[in-house]
Structure 1
């Protein structure tokens, strides 16, 4: 399969590279490298302003169809955009959940009214979104969702219509404390089990009946949250797809989650690996043949990972594989997550005993970039679909093996 870039693609690469070089200066220069994994709290308001600057120049939602406010870029041009964004060390974007997940889901499954209401706000970065999937008893096992929603008349008694009333708890809700909306998978058919009777609801967060509690992490950040719904409300027409048929919508969204933007991670990983190699040379750890072998293996594995991801995206574009179906996307998640964990382990090995000590100047402590990499990468094989779930997807849906026994 031809994975080379056309002259048009190369011209686009030069365009976005030049734009980023020209714009990541002046007031924006200090944002370079801000907001990476485990550091979502860094300069959030400034990064929000940068994201709106991107929007004003047409650099948000680049893969969306033009009729929905996007640029309608080809698959390879989307890859180029994300690669160049990472290469420029541009700040982490604040609107990933809206731009990469909910937006494409509304384009695929939403009504014309929902698209008209919500897509412009995502493109302009005026409304931020959180993801209401995981629960204390339904993390990797999403079909075990217990949050409930029921239709009731509006509380003012005006007869103006119905609303969904939501009760339950979500957890690991990224950036809920900074978002205006959350998309929630809730059980709307009493007595239903597993993936039956679930609905995909769009819920405003700024209302009575919603409580958001940040979860402090080992890395010092708190981008994850618990969200409690106690009689929270949203309009009856803010259900995506048919009521009770939300499982298909939720799975469609997870397909988008493992799309083009995740490929750009390999560029960031390459920069991290190069920095670890430089550190090893500075400290003398590079003279250790075992450590040197581990670093060489990581370099080879990263190139193979990138090649596999490109082939997988080609299969999705050609229709040979479905992003939502699991195959290539699940393999890619397994590969990059475990690679990144190994990188964190090697980084700490390079740091040596000094890596076990944290600076006491912060509250409760300050971590250097290698300690933060090690600690945060422990979660790579859990969030976004754990290793166990990805293996079950491949076994059951792709290979057709018997389903795992459930207690």
Structure 2
């Protein structure tokens, strides 16, 4: 039976009843006596206390080692740690990611940015190639900023694709939108870019100002174009060669011409040709094939004569059967013969019409109809 308390002569010599020791509190193998007087054998494994920091040890570390490490992070102590306020790195730094911040004012700045090769050969150099490329893709040296494209895994395969110097970009350029450029002086004849302002100033206001005039008309009968490019042709007197119109070449008139006296050796007319049952005449001569009762509309051609003018119209109408003929837009109709003569037969019909305008814009048309045999 275990004894946990001893009293002698009224005095307590030993009292273990207040002990709280347990086997878990003692190191493995260490013995003590419990509150009940029975022996207690320790179960706690022995622990090793490390004297320095380690990346692999699971042992506790002395608090003085931790204290020293924290102090060194501020730049004190052994100097093995870079202080947060600055410092000098004597060894290499490897990082999977590096950034200076996310705000617009944050950026990375350095005096020399070294790629592959010796960065001391250039003021600034960047290599965007992969490992093994001994070339610099971009570098600035003196006044030049050079850009290279590496085509192989060696420096000899780098091709200069352009550079920026005091004269601007040298190399192929791709411009979109509405790029601008300085406008060269008038008369400049170089390989520089010509702006729209330069081209506008270089174009003469009239063709007579062209210095390289091959293929351009500079004069008409020795008359130069005016500032608007127009040529004024003077109408001559007794000498036809003074009229400004060539007598030996074809002249095409697009507006009405007035001739006081005309001597013609040969006349030709553009003749309309069509078929149907209703035709609006626009020319002085025409040939039509009637396919039914026929209407000849002279309204349009009657508008071409003014007061005191007249015109002669000749129309040949063919048909394979007999049809009636109606003439409209000719003003007051008068006939040579009878109105019943205006009949289309299978033999054909020839119409001659004299259309005249009197002083009050009235139109009178005299019709001569001839049945063909």
TM-score of the superposition, structure 2-length normalised? 0.19
- Larger helix proportion, structure 1 or 2? 1
- Larger strand proportion, structure 1 or 2? 2
TM-score of the superposition, structure 1-length normalised? 0.18
Which structure is larger by alpha-carbon Rg, 1 or 2? Answer: 2
